[in-house]
Amino acid sequence: MTQYGGPLYGVMTSLPPAQNATFYQHMIINTNKVSIVRGAWQINTTESYSPTIIKITSGTTVTWTNDDIIIHTVTDLGGKFDSDLIQPSAGWNYTFYHEGKYTYYCTIHPWMKGLVIVT
């Protein structure tokens, strides 16, 4: 599992400003389902996790489905959760019990990122 301050944390925080700006230009969607889109691994894909930003209430389980043809992860930047490897056509669930903002990414393709807002 990647922990806050770990080696991949530096990768995530050093992304070019243009990529970080793109992240925050996505709409906030009220849903508990996220797709890892086909072609998500390509660095020029602007929405690797779709939707990129979701909003849920505390106690909600979020399901990520890998709709790509290669493996990915869903890993919290702060070290709260880590899916390990999600195979193509497989999924992973995590229940959020605490309010906050959870930025996550793929440890294999660290430019892939998403955000869960828990209220």
Q: What are the structural domain ranges in the chain?
A: 7-118
Please list, in sequence order, all residues whose beta carbon lies within 8 angstroms of the beta carbon of residue 47, skipping any fewer than 6 positions away.
Answer: 26, 37
How is residue 101 written in tokens?
């903002």
Contact 54, 115 (CB under 8 A): yes
CA 85 to chain centroid, in Å, comes to 13
Nearest Cα neighbor of 53 from 114, 118, 101, 110 is 114
Predicted local distance difference test score (pLDDT) of residue 79: 96
- The class of domain 7-118 in CATH terms is mainly beta
Q: In what order do the strands lie in the sheet with 53-56?
A: 28-30, 53-56, 113-118, 100-105, 75-76
Predicted local distance difference test score (pLDDT) of residue 46: 87
Please list, in sequence order, all residues whose beta carbon lies within 8 angstroms of the beta carbon of residue 11, skipping any fewer than 6 positions away.
Answer: 110
Residue by residue, pLDDT tens for the chain (119 residues) are 444 444 454 544 444 444 444 455 789 999 999 999 999 999 998 899 999 999 999 999 999 999 999 999 999 999 999 999 999 999 999 999 999 999 999 999 999 999 999 99
Predicted local distance difference test score (pLDDT) of residue 88: 98
- Tell me how far apart the alpha carbons of residues 65 and 80 are, in angstroms, rounded to a whole number: 19
* Number of residues assigned to the chain: 119
Predicted local distance difference test score (pLDDT) of residue 22: 47
Predicted local distance difference test score (pLDDT) of residue 32: 98
